[in-house]
Amino acid sequence: MRIDIITIFPAMLEGFLNESILKRAQTKGLVEIHMHNLRDYSLDKHHKTDDYAFGGGAGMVMLAQPLADCIEALKKNCQYDDIIYMSPDGEMLTQAVANDLSLTKNLMLICGRYKGIDQRIREHWITREISIGEYVLSGGELPAAVLADAIIRLIPGVLSDESSALLDSFQGELLDAPVYTRPADFRGHKVPDVLVSGDQKKIDEWRYQKSEEKTTRRNKKTEE
């Protein structure tokens, strides 16, 4: 898989994308991540990427020209499954959306700033808009990093034990069960006996029951 990210702050993403599982995925050749500084595509002598909004009001708007030129330059060398604008009013990122995107080959992610990007880019160049939640961040860099992480960990071979991702919360109907590690007694708080019993059937039953309880509790809370 190839992911191209367009941003005016590439350094914000580089650290995150080059550590841990995402770094390993790239080293193993399972994913290529390419960062593009939008300022490099500005025709303005000061590399300006924003301007005042038509109609007035507070906040700057990201210019159409650098975005269109950057998107078109990238499209010359690659056929994208989706050109995604990270936007608070987009389709909500869920595990199902991440699963769907993990099956694609080439994605372009666009990080907005300020009041967002010129609407004409959204209407004529973008193919999908994704939100990471109903709140507003200062820029699309964290949302792009969240989306990239959610997708990449699902690519076969990225996690050392692939079955781990399949059992995660939101993959099926039930949330993941509680997990514990050593020591079995931490400052007087003990691990449930069943988990150290060695009886795998009982352990599986216990995990299923805990997953059900957790899911019911969460569903009740979201209904309230």
Q: Which residues bind ligand SAM (CB under 6 A)?
A: 86-89, 111-113, 115-116, 131-133, 135-140, 143
Phi, psi of 112, rounded to the nearest 5 degrees: -85, 170
User: CA-to-CA distance for 43 and 146, rounded, in angstroms?
Assistant: 31
Decide: helix, strand or coil at residue 116.
coil
Strand 50-52 to 60-62 pairing: antiparallel
Q: How far apart are CA 183 and CA 49, in angstroms?
A: 54
Residue closest to ligand SAM (Cβ): 112
Taking a C-beta distance cutoff of 8 angstroms, is the pair 145, 90 a contact?
Answer: no
Rank residues 93 and 177 by Cβ distance to ligand SAM and give the closer one: 93
Task: Count CB atoms within 10 A of the CB of residue 192.
Answer: 13
Indicate the residue among 17 and 174 with the shorter CB distance to ligand SAM.
Answer: 17
Nearer to ligand SAM, 28 or 124 (CB): 124
Residue 116 Cβ vs ligand SAM, minimum distance, rounded to whole Å: 4
Please, what is the minimum distance in Å from the beta carbon of residue 55 to ligand SAM? 14
Interatomic CA distance for residues 36 and 10, integer angstroms: 7
Task: Considering the complex, state which of residue 87 and residue 211 has its C-beta at the smaller distance from ligand SAM.
Answer: 87
84-89-91 Cα angle (round to 5) = 55
Instruction: Please give the structure tokens belonging to residue 82.
Output: 């989706």
Q: Which is nearer to ligand SAM, 22 or 130 (CB)?
A: 130
Quote the least distance from Cβ 64 to ligand SAM, whole Å: 14
From the CB of 173, what's the least distance to ligand SAM, in Å? Answer: 26
CB of 58 to ligand SAM, least distance (A): 10
